[in-house]
Structure 1
Amino acid sequence: MLDVSVIEDAEAAAVSLDPTRARLLAELAGGPASAAMLAARVGLPRQKVNYHLRALEKHGLVELAGERRKGNVTERLMRATAASFVISPLALAQVQPDPDRFRDQLSARWLLAVAARLVRDVGALITGADRARKRIATFALDGEVRFASAADRAAFVEELTHGVSALVAKYHDADAEGGRPHRIVVALHPTVKPQVAAPDEIEATP
């Protein structure tokens, strides 16, 4: 089972978003189960569970893990193909965000568009690498910084911009024979808390 799988097809995305099928996916992410076992867990008739499982299997969201005999019946044990799923913007190709349409480094919506493009591009890389049975050279840096003031945050953004720009200028070689372009994305946003922030915790954009 994969840790994360990317859904790029619109029909597969629709199937995964159905509440009943999403519940079945969550159950099967925990381990293989038969339609009868799932029916008891989710409170649905076995025939209806089988119907949903066929739809999930058709789109590669679940797969056969094995079979077992139970009396005179052979049960199919199904499992989720991944522990979790991400829906790529490619599933809504005609209306997917385009960060090149407008550029505003201080806009949260532009950051969202950049993040959507990151999901789309990395998802496409994963899909292609899986088909070719190759690995992708990737790196991710994740951290958190607590600013004492808005002025400190602005200074951090300025230094970060200069630092990354200097690294890009140092290593970028537009004429390198056999070189391969790479996209770099550096994002900064307030840490999302589990609970809803109080009104006085939400900072207005000047």
Structure 2
Amino acid sequence: MNKAVHIIDEGGAATSALHPLRLQILSELTEPESAAGLARRMGVPRQQVNYHVRQLEEQGLVQLVGERRVRNCVERLVQAVGRSYMINPAALGGLGADPERIEDKASASYLLAVASQMIQDLAGLQHRTPQGDPDALTLALRTDVRFKSQEAQTTFAAELADEVARLVAKYHSAQASKGRLFRVHASAYPVPPG
């Protein structure tokens, strides 16, 4: 069974996945299929599809899920390991965005760096804990808000910051050395038009 989101950690796997034909193959492999079946569906020579499937398999992006006999041949059935993919910013090494290196804390660059760090943290969590493990439970809140004025936006930001600070002060226990440490992010940004 494929994961909802598969994290690509290695630069080689990212490069492999970003090839246009391989992107198409990954999107087609939501269910088990053979290279021959994919080739027919995609209108691409079987040998070409087979080569790219093998490359994806070597990078851990496609997995063998079965075999079936067709005439005198055994077809390998493969499936994508994820329904969607995300490249771990850690794959960029020292070039990855780091919130500590950005001075303007109100900039889009800073928010992108914070999001990058969050993706790295969650990738590590996903790799270390089995699916369904209560230690891996997260909390995410997402909503849109339309402000009637700049003043309302400023007031909202101040109230949100105060409320988050109040809740952190109420529930944070520095003395609970065996307690679970969570990272809390609260952010807002203008929705791009369109």
TM-score tier by shorter-chain length is over 0.9
Tell me the secondary structure at the aligned position of residue 40 of structure 1. helix
Q: 1:26-68, CA deviations, whole angstroms, 9 ceiling, x for partnerless residues? A: 0002x11111111122232111111111111111111112211
Rate the CA distance shift 1:112–1:82 in 2: closer, same or farther, 3 A: same
Structure 2 Cα separation of the partners of residues 146 and 133 of structure 1: 35
Gaps of 5+ in 1: 196-206
Q: Which runs of 5+ in 2 are unaligned?
A: none
TM norm structure 1: 0.87
1:158 aligned counterpart, secondary structure: helix
Moved more, 43-52 or 84-93: 43-52
1:165 Cα offset (Å): 0.9
Report the alpha carbon displacement of residue 103 of structure 1 after superposing the two structures with TM.
Answer: 4.1
Q: How many residues align?
A: 192
- Per the alignment, residue 25 of structure 2 pairs with 24
Correspondence 1:41-80 to 2 at 5 A: 41-80=41-80
For 1:112 and 1:133, how far apart are their aligned partners in 2? Answer: 28
CA RMSD of aligned residues (A): 1.7
Secondary structure (helix, strand or coil) at the match of 1:6 reads strand
Partner Cα distance (2:169, 2:62) in 1: 46
Q: What is the CA-CA distance between 1:7 and the residue it aligns to?
A: 0.7
SS of residue in 1 equivalent to 2:101: coil
Tell me how far apart the structure 1 counterparts of residues 177 and 64 of structure 2 sit (CA, whole Å): 46
Q: SS in structure 2 opposite 1:51?
A: helix
- In structure 1, the partner of 2:172 is 172
Q: Distance in 2 between matches of 1:176 and 1:78?
A: 47
**How far did 1:133 drift?**
8.2
Identity of aligned residues (%): 43
